[in-house]
Each structure stands twice: as C-alpha cells, then as structure tokens.
Amino acid sequence: MKEEHYVVVGNGPAGNEAATTLRDKAPSARITLIGREHRMCYRPKLLPAYLSGTIEEEGLYALPLEHYQEKDIKLRLGQRVVGLIPDRKELVLDHKEIVPFTGLILAVGGTPRIPENLHIFRELMFTLKTVSDAKRWMKHLREVEHVLMIGGDLTSFAVTQALLDMGKRVAFVLNEESFRPLRSSPEIYEEAAHVLKARGVEVIEGRRVRGMSRLGQDSIEVMVEDKRISTQMVGAFFGLVPDVGFLVRSGLHIESGVLVDETLHTGSEGIYAAGDCAQVYHPALRDYWVSIGHDNAANLGRIAAQNLLGEQIEVRVPAESIFQVDGIKVNTSWWKEF
Amino acid sequence: MPRLDITVEICGMAGDGTIAAGGLLNEAVSLGGLFVLAFDSYPAEIRGFGRCVTRARIGETPRIALEEPTHVLISLDDEQSLSRVPSLASNSVVFFDNRPPSYIPEARSLAAHLGHPTILYGMPMADLAAGAAGTTRGKNLTALGGFAAVFGIPPVLFQRVISKKFQSKGDKVLEANLKSFDAGYEYAQKEFSERLSAPFPFPEAASEGETVLTSGNQAIGQGALDAGLQLYFGYPITPATPIMEFLAQTLPAQGGRVTQMEDEISSIGAVLGACFAGRRAMTATSGPGFALMTELITHGVMSETPAVIVNAQRGGPSTGLPTKTEQSDLHAAVFGGPGDSGRIVVAPTSVAECYSYTLKSFQWAERYQIPVIVLTDFYLDNRVESISPLKPDADAAEDRTLLPDPDAKGPYERFKITESGISPRAFPGMEGFVFKATGLEHTEAGLPSYTPENHTKMSEKRHRKLLSALADLPEPEEFGPEGSLDVGVIGWGSTFGSVLEAVESALERGLKAGALKVTSLFPYHANHIRRFMHRCRAVLVPELNFEGQLADLIGHLHHRDVVRLNRVTGQPIPPTAILKRIEELIGAEAE
C-alpha cells in the first residue's frame, strides 16, 4: 500500500495546527512540516516586546522540539519551497529536491508589504515580521535615538510603545493607512493621535511619504509630502502580502493569495490552503476574503487538515465581519487579538 | 565553560577531494593551535566511485580516540553522506551543496534526512568554485571556506595551508584553489551572517612547532630513520605503502637505500640477508603480504637473525578489506609460521608510540637476535595526531648486538647455549669467527642436527631468549584507581585510545573501572596482566576482530571468562560503545 505522506508548507500557527491535526487524525501517515525560516514556530505579535527587551528570545517560541518528536512530525526548517507540480503531487525545494506528497496544505503566511511607490527605498526601511527582522532592529537601535514610523498597521503601535519604553524618540506619520486593514474613521484617527501625543510621540498628521534618502551612516531624510524630516531609522508597517510567488506557475488559482473554496480546497486534488496565504470564497459575498491573526490562522489550519482527511467542513465567517481594504476583503475578527 | 571538543566529518565520492580537504582542515586548525586526531576512510579503488570519509576530532586538549557522534558534517556528495546521518549528533551542523547538477528525489536527499534541530548550511559549492576558478573541482575548498566562516576560523590559516599544499603545482593551480576557498568564505559570511556559530577558541599565542601533525606511518618511518635504518625492502600494499613512500624521500639523504622488491617474500628475504650481514633493515606490509613472509620470518627465528617487520593490519582474511581497519592479524603475528617460532610482537597504541616502538624494535631485534613485528592497523597508520615533535634518544642508533669476545679461545659457536639464551653474534667476514648458518635445526656451532636432545636444547635456548627479552619489553600500563574494580578493560593497538577514554568517562560517572594497556603482545607480561585481572570483577577486552584474538591469547590468565567486545565494521570502536558495555557489565553485576 502506498505510504500516506502529508506535507504542510509553513511553520506558523496555521501550518502547525494543520500538522498536529493531521497527526491526531491520521496516526500512521508520514507528516512533514517545511518552514522557510531556520527557527521554530514563534509568535510574531511578541516581537515588539522582544526587541524592547521585555522578553527573551526563548519566550517567543510557541512549541518545543519535543512536540514534534512526540507527534512524529518531521520538521524541516530553513528549507524553501520554490515550486509545486499539482498533477504529479510533487513539491520542488530550493536545493533541487523533489518531495512527493499524497496531501498538501499550503500555509506559507505573508511577507511585509511595501507600497509600490516606496519600493526603491526598501533598503532604508525596517520591517518587523520575523525574529531576524527583530534582531536587525535591535542591532540598529543601539546606535540611534530617533525613529520615524511610517505606514501603520496595528503592529506599528506596539513597536512604537516598545521604542518609547527603550527611551527612543519616535515620530509617527499618521494617516488613513495607519489602521490597515481597517478603514480609518475620524474617531479612530483622533483617538490614536491623542494617545500617541500623550505618550510623547511626534505625530505628523494626514501626510503621505513620498521618498527618502540617506544623508549619512545614521541619518535619513524622509520627504513627507512637502516636509523633510530628519531621522536615524525608518520603520515601515504596511501590512502583509501572502507569500505565494512560488505558486505562480503551479496552475493553482492565485490572486493576492491562493484562492480556495469554503472548505479551503484549492481545486487541485489533495491540495488545501490555510492561514494568511488563503483567499477563502464566501458564498454570501460571492467574493474571496483573507484572514489575519494567530487564532484565525490556527482555526483555518485545523479545518484544512480535517478536510484533507476527508471531512467537508466549511469555514463560516459572518458576512458583516468582512470588509474591504485595498480591494481585499478581510475578516475583522483579527482585531480582537491585538 | 566547556572546552572545545568536536568531531568534524567530510564525506564525498572518490574524486571529490574529500581526503585532501580533510588534510587542509587538519593542518589549518592545527596551525591555529588546536589539537587534532583525524582518520580517513576511502575505497580500495583508486578513483571514480565509492565513499570517502575523513573524520577529525578537534579540541583544545589532546585527544586519544575518535568519538561519536559527529558534530559537523561537510557533504561533498549527498548520496554518499546519507550513510553518515545515523552518526550525527541531534543538533549537528551540516554543510551541503544546494545546487546539485540534477534534481534529487526526497529519498536520496541529504537534507530530507536531517530534521530540526540539525542546522543546515546549503551553499552552491560547485557553482561557487566554477565562478571563482573556472572549474568545479574546487568545491571542496568552497566548502571549507563556508566552514571557516561559520566557525570563525581565520581564513589566513586555510590560505597558508592551501599555499603550502599547492605552491609546487604552479601559480595557476594555487590561485584557483585560493579563489575557491575565498568564494566559499565570502558567500557564507554574507548568506549566513545571522547564523554564524561561536568561533573556534584558538589560543591567542599559538607558537608554531609546539605540536606537529603526524600520521602513524610517518612516525614509523621517522622512528626507523632515527634508529639508523640503512636498508628498506618492501612491496606496496595498503595501508603500509606510505612508510615506503616516506622512506623513499628521506632514507637516501641519510645514505640508506629503499628498494621495491618483486613481492613480499623477496622483501623479507632481503631484510634477513641485510641484517645477517650486520645492517639495519626493515620491511612493512599488511596481512596478505605478512602471510607470504611468515616462513622466512621463522627462518629469522631459527637463524637468530634480527629483522624489523611492520604489519599494518587491514580487514581480512585474504585481500579482504584493503582500506578498512581491523586487528585480526594478532594470531598470525604471534603464531604464524611453522614450528615453535616465538618472536617479539609489539603493538603501539598511538602515533607517538608508533615512533618510539619502531625505534626500539631495532634495538630489541639486535639485542635478542630475533625478528620483531611491529603490529599496527589502518586506523593507527593512517590517522594523524597533533603530537610533540619527535626526538630520538641520544643512543637511538647504537648497535645493541652482543659481539663475541675477540680474545676468546677455541672455536667460535654462533649459537652457544647461554643462561640468557643470547649467543655472542659475529657477522660474516669477521676475522676468526667463521660459522655456519642454516634454517635447519642446528648445533651450537651451526651444523645441522636433528637429535632429540639437540632440538630440545636449542628450542629451550630460543625460548629462554624470549624470557630475557620480556624483561626489556614495556610492561603493561594501568590506568584508574587502585584496589578492586568492577570492570577492568584491556586494550591493545589502536583500540586502546578508545578504551582509555571510555574508562575516563566511566570514572567521571563514579563507576569503578580501570584500563590496562598491553603493548608487548609476545612475549607478554603474564604476571602483570594476571594481577590486573584479579583486581577486576569483570574483564572486558574490546578488539577490532571477530574472534577476540587478544582475549584468546591472555584470557586463560583470568579465573573467569573475559568479556569480549568485538567489531568488524572496518571502523574504529568509539569510546561510547565501550562505555556502554562497561555500564552494562556493572549493571549486570549489581543485579
């Protein structure tokens, strides 16, 4: 009899929940969890606390190695999937290894989004999605006193607080993007501006960043509309984009993420997607929505695993909790986690 | 803070430059002041297929054995390296080529067999070498570059040893190799910048020349040179050939001569002839060649002619496993050949002892007029160790032959019966000392005689000589606490390093264990060995042979059966395997 080999790509909450569920429901199957980073699964929302020194690195990690040993889940970290051949049920890894599977769950998450107009300044900006990002922040923060926060998303508020805790001076370009993926409203805007100012943050209101240039080793000039702001470090927080570039030639339906039906099925036999990288069809909306946040991701991972093993569970999200940002419909329940 | 003590392994296909890379690694870290014990394993075939593995134990203090598990694996060929996976530590570091020439199925991928927490460093070894030097042949050097960067080894150490190795091959070759190394180093520094390991703790002021990396075979050759060797006769055979190669480069400069003979029989014949004539001569061979020599070795016993024969053991029987280690010629060395042909057999246990025992063997051979067999094995011959520079005693080359009294009256009796069994020995051509020599049993004058009385008398004489020699041969050495022991481990040859390290570990764990090093295998110090055995509740004898040949030889000295630990894997016994058996024996006794 052919060996059942379930592969989960992505070492975040969706991937880990999927792998654990697969093991619990399919005790004799071979299960492989592939992660691009070299690190064990960690909680990204703790990264601001880590970079401020409130918690140690060990405190970031969600699951111990023993979990994978007990569950007999092969954990392959630091290995990048670069291709998928659905018809042959094969994954291609960066080092030219072909991994066959009988079932696959894509849970690759997202990477920091940088708006197109700022792409050329990418090297001047710091994002915060990974532990490596946090280490870069920590290394650089030793040398700087002033940080300019641009874009926004709720992580940026946590980072701002961390920077203040470290005694840094912070300026914040506050505009409608600062609440991504929520739409800004006068009430939210006013409240955020008030809180930031009360904590000593210089708030630069209602302006857009147009460009930036390095003046010296620790000096960056940022053009905020017609104003030039001098800073030593720029933090960029524009949300995440699903990390699905490797699937472009796979034949799977890709938009901003992997398009899946209400059961998280991609349309290719034995292949499911979950977490931040999945765009889930909502029959009431007749459109796709994405989910953000740890709990939502884990929930989708569990459902994808159950469905891969033969169940037909539909993801149910009330239509009213889904709204649109930049053309993408987003489940607002992620709010609760921040 | 624990001191550095790690095992690094390089594995590749024959032709990948695995052994060369291992040599450079050993030289580089040794140059930086760290201690190395390294051993290569490769196929018997010259090139083209088969697995090559070089293992090095690197530390801040001298090590005496290779150990498992392996902490760092540098894979030059994934398929070959798959077999090494079981010997890796769970949190090992693995370097591999992440741009192989073709796609690899999961089942044959090294990375697929290494789950977390193994730390993987994938680097395009061959591509980097091709980009830097125009050829993929330097991929072993790009791999070393990556290793150096990750472990914080100053690149200058590698650059110096690469220059030393390749400078004779011309600037182009040297430059290509340096570029390949630099490409790997720079790649790793950039790509692995967030994952660099703690740097190797090189001593701040390592003074060059404090230790030298020396192989067992080099030490044997140097020992022979310092003993005043004049003639070497041999026929190439793995693993003894490097002795002849070493001497071919060094002996002529000392006025000596190296001659490659047509086979092993003529080699030992020529050695006996030279020694008969009063020269210092030796040969070196391995099991199959030694088998051919045995009849003439007994001729040396019968004719009381000194000779030094190195038997570098390998896997047997017959041509066996030419490039694998084994200790299965002990019986052949002690008993091989016709008749009661007792000879001296010694077995060094380290590279330094390869030197001192070879040097001393010439003295024992001359003093007791007998062939001396230096019994080594592939693991000892082929390993390199960081040792203090070899220095001979002032009288190392002095002739120990008991010469006849020139004023003696009456006819000269070459085989005169004496209390020690040693007869004054004249050389052919010495005026007034004419004698006859024969392989037949003979009288004191050397004339053939087959009478029962004469054969009995001469047999006694030849064996009395062995008893005299015993007093001159190294006593067994004891390690560990005095008094009674739960387990005593007796080791010989290359295995002793593992024995001692296992016993040291057992003592650290509070176990009552001790070790006995036996280097004089024939004749052997029975009383000393018996005394040690009687201190032990259990006696363990680990050996790299199937039959337990030392256990057979000395086991009768114990009042209980000795416990055997035999391996014929072609690889050294790791100390952990011996420690495990010690713990089992103590556990069994406790029950």
Chain B: closest CA distance from residue A166 (Å): 23
pLDDT given for residue B447 in this prediction: 96
Q: Which residue has the tokens 């991928």?
A: B109
Q: Which residue has the tokens 């006025």?
A: B255
What are the tens digits of pLDDT across the range B77-119?
A: 999 999 999 999 988 999 999 999 999 999 999 999 998 899 9
Residue B565 Cα to chain centre, angstroms = 20
Chain B residues inside the 8 Å CB shell of A75: 115-116
pLDDT given for residue A331 in this prediction: 53
CA dist., res. B479 & res. B495, Å (int): 15
Which has the higher per-residue pLDDT, B324 or A329?
A: B324
Q: Give Cβ neighbours of residue B110 (< 8 Å, ≥ 6 apart).
A: B75, B78, B79, B81, B82, B85, B94, B96
CA dist., res. B458 & res. A180, Å (int): 105
The rounded radius of gyration (Å) of the Cα atoms in chain A is 21
What's the mean per-residue pLDDT of chain B? 94
What are the tens digits of pLDDT across the range B198-224?
A: 888 888 765 666 788 999 999 999 999
Using CB atoms within 10 A of its CB, is residue B318 exposed (0-12), middle (13-18) or buried (19+)?
Answer: exposed
Q: Tell me whether the omega of the peptide bond preceding residue B69 falls within 30 degrees of 0, making it cis.
A: yes
Contact of B162 with B177, CB cutoff 8 Å: yes
In this predicted structure, the answer to whether residue B591 has a pLDDT above a threshold of 80 is no
What are the tens digits of pLDDT across the range A245-267?
A: 999 999 999 988 999 999 999 99
What are the tens digits of pLDDT across the range B367-420?
A: 999 999 999 999 999 999 999 898 888 887 887 888 898 888 778 999 999 999
What dihedral angle (degrees, nearest 10) is formed by the CA atoms of B447, B452, B458, B463? 150
What are the tens digits of pLDDT across the range A89-121?
A: 999 999 999 999 999 999 999 888 888 888 999
What are the tens digits of pLDDT across the range B159-175?
A: 999 999 999 999 999 99
pLDDT given for residue A207 in this prediction: 76
Chain A: closest CA distance from residue B570 (Å): 32
What are the tens digits of pLDDT across the range B333-355?
A: 999 999 999 999 999 999 999 99
Chain A: closest CA distance from residue B190 (Å): 14
Chain A residues inside the 8 Å CB shell of B98: 94-96
The number of residues in chain A equals 338
Average pLDDT over residues B468-484: 97
The number of residues in chain B equals 591
Q: Which amino acid is it at A206?
A: G
A57 close contact with B: CB closer than 8 A: no
Contact B194 A99 (CB under 8 A): no
In chain B, which residue's Cα lies nearest the Cα of A76? B115
A249 close contact with B: CB closer than 8 A: no
- Kindly report which listed range (B67-71, B279-283, B518-522, B540-544) carries the lowest average pLDDT score: B67-71
In this predicted structure, the answer to whether residue B242 has a pLDDT above a threshold of 60 is yes
Q: Tell me whether the omega of the peptide bond preceding residue B523 falls within 30 degrees of 0, making it cis.
A: yes
pLDDT given for residue B205 in this prediction: 62
CA dist., res. B213 & res. B37, Å (int): 9
- Kindly report which listed range (A194-203, A292-301, B8-17, B44-53) carries the lowest average pLDDT score: B44-53
Write out the DSSP string of B382-416. S-EEEEPPP---TTTT-----PPPTT--S---TT-
Which has the higher per-residue pLDDT, A190 or B15?
A: B15
Average pLDDT over residues B536-559: 95
Which residues 87-126 of A are in CB contact (within 8 Å) with B? Answer: 92-100
pLDDT given for residue A177 in this prediction: 66
Chain B: closest CA distance from residue A133 (Å): 11
pLDDT given for residue B78 in this prediction: 92
Contact B106 A97 (CB under 8 A): yes
Chain B residues inside the 8 Å CB shell of A76: 111-112, 115-116
Which one of B104, B122, B194 has the shortest CB-CB distance to A132? B194
Which has the higher per-residue pLDDT, B45 or A252?
A: A252
Q: Which residue has the tokens 């890379």?
A: B21
- Quickly state the pLDDT bin for B292 (edges 50, 70, 90): very high
CA dist., res. B372 & res. B379, Å (int): 21
Interface test with B, best of A16, A42, A95 (most B CBs within 10 A): A95
Contact of B426 with B414, CB cutoff 8 Å: yes
What are the tens digits of pLDDT across the range B354-366?
A: 999 999 999 999 9
Chain B: closest CA distance from residue A7 (Å): 12
Average pLDDT over residues B174-183: 97
Which has the higher per-residue pLDDT, A335 or B489?
A: B489
In this predicted structure, the answer to whether residue A328 has a pLDDT above a threshold of 70 is no
Number of CB pairs, chain A paired with chain B, less than 8 A apart: 55
Contact A97 B104 (CB under 8 A): yes
- Quickly state the pLDDT bin for A330 (edges 50, 70, 90): low
What are the tens digits of pLDDT across the range A46-94?
A: 999 999 999 999 999 999 999 999 999 999 999 999 999 999 999 999 9
Chain B: closest CA distance from residue A320 (Å): 42
In this predicted structure, the answer to whether residue B66 has a pLDDT above a threshold of 90 is yes
Contact A79 B194 (CB under 8 A): no
Average pLDDT over residues A271-280: 94
pLDDT given for residue A1 in this prediction: 61
The sign of the CA dihedral B202, B205, B210, B212 is positive
In this predicted structure, the answer to whether residue A333 has a pLDDT above a threshold of 50 is no
pLDDT given for residue A227 in this prediction: 87
Write out the DSSP string of A251-292. SS-BSSSEEE-TT-B-SSTTEEE-GGGEEEEETTTTEEEE--
Contact A76 B99 (CB under 8 A): no
pLDDT given for residue A334 in this prediction: 38
Chain A: closest CA distance from residue B229 (Å): 55
pLDDT given for residue A336 in this prediction: 35
Chain B residues inside the 8 Å CB shell of A97: 103-106, 109, 111-112
A135 close contact with B: CB closer than 8 A: yes
A65 close contact with B: CB closer than 8 A: yes
Q: What share of chain A is helix, strand, coil (3-state, %, to 5)?
A: 35, 30, 35
Contact A96 B112 (CB under 8 A): no
Which one of B100, B103, B120 has the shortest CB-CB distance to A78? B120
Residue A280, CA distances (Å) to A17, A255, A302, B90, B452 in order: 18, 11, 15, 40, 104
3-state secondary structure of B71: strand
Report the side by side order of strands in the sheet with A209-216.
Answer: A209-216, A219-224, A227-231
CA dist., res. B380 & res. B374, Å (int): 12
In chain B, which residue's Cα lies nearest the Cα of A131? B194
Chain B residues inside the 8 Å CB shell of A78: 119-120, 122
